[in-house]
Amino acid sequence: MNVFITFYNIDSDRNLFISSGFFFVRHLFEGIDLFFSQTATQEDIKTSICDINEKIDRIYCTINYSFEAKLMQDIVDDRWVVGGPEAIEIIREGTSVLLSKGTVIGESFEEYHGLSPSTTFTYYFKDLVAEINPRVVSYPCSIGSGCYWNKCSFCSFHKYSDSRGYYVKSNVTEIINNLLPLAVPSQVHTCISSCSPQVLEQILAATVKDGIILSEFIRADQSILDLIHNSRQMSFKNHLALLGIETLSQALSDRLNKGASVANYIRLVESILSRGGYVALYVMTWLPFITEESAQESMRNLKKIEKIAKKYPRERFSIINSGEVLWPTETIAKKMGSGLPTYKSFKHLYGVKIGSGSKIEEYNRKINQSLLNSSIPLKGDPITLTYGS
């Protein structure tokens, strides 16, 4: 008997978020599904497993966050096989007690079992959705992994990704065509860190059914803009484009090694909105190398974006505050901080301390105030006007 454990979260607005699970492989194995809220206790999990009256051979579990690993560390035994994004972090860090109790894997479920990659999406969570009856359900439909650019100075993915690096499933168009609406609206994340022009073309060739909003990360490379411009029939209806602009200043963007111009990101915003799509523009705050000139440039570009956004329904565009920028190593943090003190944040990430009352704090605060004053909806972490301790 196999047991499959998937975590979920339901927020105060009754949005249901289902974490990484067994969406492409659940149809391949017999077994029992257990779903646990992220507020569950160790005793809840232990009791549910003990209540199964059959002999359990394997307990498969996917985890996204470190608190999920801590939640299960006292109940894992040699029957457990733990995978998912946090499992990769555990392998990289090499310090988790899970490594000595169960089996922690960094490869896919199919690779672990020696199977060919599956492109069949399985709605094994339909009963959970019916039971909770949320306002909206969000779940991943992972068409691949990684980023074809993979050079941003703040990104740690390339520091620990395996030989696959950037990969995409076959039959992307068919996978998306086969996604089904549920009883409540669905927000479906394709999970790939950035869609190449070839992958984006496959995504947009699919028909996203009403009742589903498909989200995908897109870079503002010239090749992406050319693809959209030269294929005017392409519609972004039922698509949410996630654009990691990170900063509204070209000078700051170059320091982050984004490899795509801020001007192109602004063009991409309008291209997608004009084709019926939704856009979420991700920005970082509290950059330690900001200048007065880059702050002024950021505020000018925010005005340009605001002018574009006003032409379309308010609900179709938002800015997401990603929070303070963090760095994958202390060496990079020191380099980016230009002499400012650094600190260990969490896991392997490092931050740079910005002095209270400093010019750097002042310039960052001006940008944050402009974001708060704009007519664009702000989501993500709350925008703050003073640098935290």
Q: What stretch of H or E contains 156? A: none
Please list the residues that pair with 137 across neighbouring strands.
16, 186
Spatial distance between the Cα atoms of 378 and 389, rounded to a whole number of angstroms: 23
Dihedrals phi, psi of 189, to nearest 5 degrees? -100, 130
Q: What is the pLDDT of residue 389?
A: 60
Taking every pair of C-alpha atoms in the chain, what is the biggest distance, in angstroms? 67
In which residue are the tokens 């959970």 written?
Answer: 128
Spatial distance between the Cα atoms of 389 and 105, rounded to a whole number of angstroms: 36
Spatial distance between the Cα atoms of 24 and 169, rounded to a whole number of angstroms: 11
Q: What is the CA radius of gyration of the chain?
A: 22
Structure tokens at 107: 């490869």
Q: What is the pLDDT of residue 2?
A: 96
Spatial distance between the Cα atoms of 145 and 151, rounded to a whole number of angstroms: 15
Per-residue burial over 260-289, b if 16 or more Cβ lie within 10 Å, else e, is bbbebbbbbbbbbbebebbbbbbbbbbbbb
SS3 content of the chain, % helix, strand, coil (to 5): 35, 20, 45
Per-residue burial over 20-33, b if 16 or more Cβ lie within 10 Å, else e, is bbbbbbbeeeebeb
Among 91, 130, 139, smallest CA distance to 347 is for 91
Q: Which amino acid is residue 376, in one-letter code? A: I
Structure tokens at 199: 């992958």
Q: Is 83 helix (H, G, I), strand (E, B) or coil?
A: strand
Spatial distance between the Cα atoms of 318 and 309, rounded to a whole number of angstroms: 9
CB atoms near residue 147 (< 10 Å): 21
Q: What is the pLDDT of residue 165?
A: 65
Q: Are 18 and 184 in contact (CB under 8 A)?
A: no
Structure tokens at 360: 């750097």
Spatial distance between the Cα atoms of 132 and 98, rounded to a whole number of angstroms: 31
Among 334, 352, 350, smallest CA distance to 159 is for 350
Please list the residues that pair with 388 across neighbouring strands.
none
Calculate the alpha carbon distances from 77 to 3, 47, 57, 251 in Å: 13, 15, 11, 51
Q: Are 16 and 35 in contact (CB under 8 A)?
A: no
Q: Are 319 and 368 in contact (CB under 8 A)?
A: no
Q: Are 9 and 62 in contact (CB under 8 A)?
A: no
State the pTM of this model. Answer: 0.93
Structure tokens at 260: 């795509």
pLDDT tens digits, the chain, 389 residues: what are they?
999 999 999 999 999 999 989 999 999 999 999 999 989 999 999 999 999 989 999 999 999 888 888 888 889 999 999 998 888 888 877 878 888 888 999 888 999 999 998 999 999 999 999 999 999 999 999 998 888 898 999 987 655 444 456 789 989 999 999 999 999 999 999 999 999 999 999 999 999 999 999 999 999 999 999 999 987 768 999 999 999 999 999 999 999 999 999 999 999 999 999 999 999 999 999 999 999 999 999 999 999 999 999 999 999 999 999 999 999 999 999 999 989 999 998 778 899 999 999 999 999 999 999 999 999 999 998 999 999 86
